[in-house]
Amino acid sequence: MSSRHLGIGLLGVGVVGGGVAQILPGKATQLAARAGIELRLVRALVRDPAKERTRGATLPPLGTDGAAVVDDPAVQVVVEVLGGEQPALDLIRRALRAGKHVVTANKEVIAKHGAELFAIAQQHGVALQFEASVGGGIPVIAVFQHDLAANWVSRIAAIINGTTNYILSRMASEGADFGDALADAQALGYAEADPTADVDAYDPCYKLAILASLAFGEEVRPEGVHREGIRSLSRRDFAFARSLGYAIKLLAIARRRADGIEARVHPVMLPASKMLAKVDGVFNAIEVEADLVGTALLYGQGAGSLPTASAIVADVIAIADALARGDRPRTPIPPSSRARLVQIESIDSRYYLRLSVPDKPGVLAAIAAVFGRNAISIASVQQPEQTPEDPEAELVIMTHRASEAGMQATIAQLSGLDVSPRVQTVLRIED
Ligand SMILES: NC(=O)c1ccc[n+]([C@@H]2O[C@H](COP(=O)([O-])OP(=O)(O)OC[C@H]3O[C@@H](n4cnc5c(N)ncnc54)[C@H](OP(=O)(O)O)[C@@H]3O)[C@@H](O)[C@H]2O)c1
């Protein structure tokens, strides 16, 4: 390291990289005081160097060769904010093997390849920091790595996808349909043109895998996280949820059990009085239950240029600070083993079901009999009055606590009934 500055190679100058390129020169004096050394952008990788880039960032030379950024001898820290699995993964590997410290916002790479990358970083005595990969500007990775280190974490429940939380909030507050709320989120830049990663819940699965791995000290693989998105929710569900005193949220839940770890992302009904039920719009929140702190809630902006760049720059400062003191920055600890994930069928929950049923005598009794056969006790049934021209009635059933396996059998058997009810929505109730 030059004694006067720390050289940073920036992979990506998009939403987050642009924020980093704005903060580093814009707050140079403050950051140098915190880091003990000047932080200097050396060069950056983009796809298209000719693209117009605004927002007051002072940009270093831009190029299209990622290896040239990583291999530049003036670069000591590589900041990866490209997104996606490749070429980000190969460039991170290359940087670590070359003895460079890496800071990344890439949840997909960390969730899928974290264990391998942590081991490479450890072998080469370099840091691999990823605070920005979950919760954007909310300090959450460091909280699990350091602040909760004395705790035994038993449960995480988190709203960690701002796009879907925005869509669900619009559906709740304005009675909007999913398609309209999604189009609105896209127009505002909260959702991508291809919204799959968000609305089908891949993104929060990656984030939950990262958090659960840190919290429980074992590798939670993202493909082992049970995943359900929000596409099938209707504004009718929001109307019923509200009348019953609940909010609908896409929740990421991880829980320690005697037989393994439960990790799931799906929409839930939350009692309206719960803190997480009040997290609206693009905001994120992570609730942690642990033996010493009890319950803690982290809340803030889970995405956006400057909030996310804030997390990146903090990671860079931590590395710079250690180097400036002549220490080795902290290397990541690879998980000791792979977690045993329990199947969704093994959970217990209360359930909300919305059914469309033909308006005929005996239908309710036939449906109730299916629940009874599967040992599911019904807590309440609502059937709003229908208009004479409507051939179908709507039935909303809330159950007492029941097994997921029993609920899945119930749903399968309902569709086999002669009266052929259509199960429109099933939601787990997270009390
Ligand atoms: N956006 C957020 O609020 C947010 C929040 C938390 C975490 N993150 C994470 O941060 C990372 C970056 O997200 P972003 O929103 O900043 O993405 P983005 O706006 O799409 O920016 C990506 C940048 O990387 C460059 N790039 C992408 N693929 C490349 C390739 N193959 N070769 C060369 N350059 C390439 C792009 O170049 P061009 O500019 O030339 O197109 C662009 O500068 C992702 O991992 C994301 O999940 C984002």
This prediction has a pTM of: 0.97
DSSP annotation of 332 = P
Identify which of 16, 23, 79 to mutate to test ligand 1's pocket (most ligand atoms within 8 A of the CB).
16
Q: d(Cα 217, Cα 335) in Å, to the nearest integer?
A: 6
Indicate if ligand 1 lies below 6 Å from the C-beta of 46. yes
* Residue 215 · residue 153 · CB < 8 Å: yes
* Residue showing tokens 């909007």: 176
**Is 14 close to ligand 1, i.e. is its CB under 6 Å away?**
yes
For the residues 290-309, what does the mean pLDDT come to? 96
Residue 384 has pLDDT above 90, yes or no: no
The predicted-structure confidence for 3-24, as pLDDT tens digits, reads as follows 689 999 999 999 999 999 999 9
Q: How far apart are CA 180 and CA 158, in angstroms?
A: 25
- Provide the token pair at 127: 């840091």
The amino acid that residue 90 corresponds to is D
Burial class (CB in 10 A: 0-12, 13-18, 19+), 418: exposed
Tokens, residue 375: 């040992």
Average pLDDT, the chain: 96
Residue-wise pLDDT for 99-156, tens only, equals: 999 999 999 999 999 999 999 999 999 999 999 999 999 999 999 999 999 999 999 9
The Cβ of residue 129 has, within 10 Å, a number of other Cβ atoms equal to: 26
- Closest CA relative to residue 196, chosen from 231, 165, 172, 226: 231
Looking at 99-103, 228-232, 330-334, 383-387, which range is the least confident one?
A: 383-387
Give 277's DSSP letter. G
The rounded distance, in Å, linking the Cα atoms of 87 and 94 is 11
Question: 33 CA distance to ligand 1 centroid (A)?
Answer: 29
Residue 55: pLDDT band (50, 70, 90) is: low
Is residue 207 among the annotated active site residues?
A: yes
CA dist 1 and 76 (Å) reads 7
Q: Considering only CA atoms, which of 430, 353, 428 is closest in space to residue 397? A: 353
Q: Over the Cα atoms of the chain, what is R_g?
A: 24
Under DSSP, the state recorded for 417 is: S
Collapsing DSSP to helix, strand or coil, 314 comes out as helix
Above 60 in pLDDT, residue 2?
Answer: no
Of 69, 308, 310, 315, the residue with max ligand 1 atoms within 8 A of its CB, to mutate for a pocket test, comes to 308
Whether 63 is in the pocket of ligand 1, judged by its Cβ within 6 Å, is no
Give the distance (Å) from ligand 1 centre to CA of residue 66: 13
Tell me phi and psi for residue 208, to 5 degrees. Answer: -65, -40
56, pLDDT greater than 70:
no
Q: What are 232's two structure tokens?
A: 């099938």
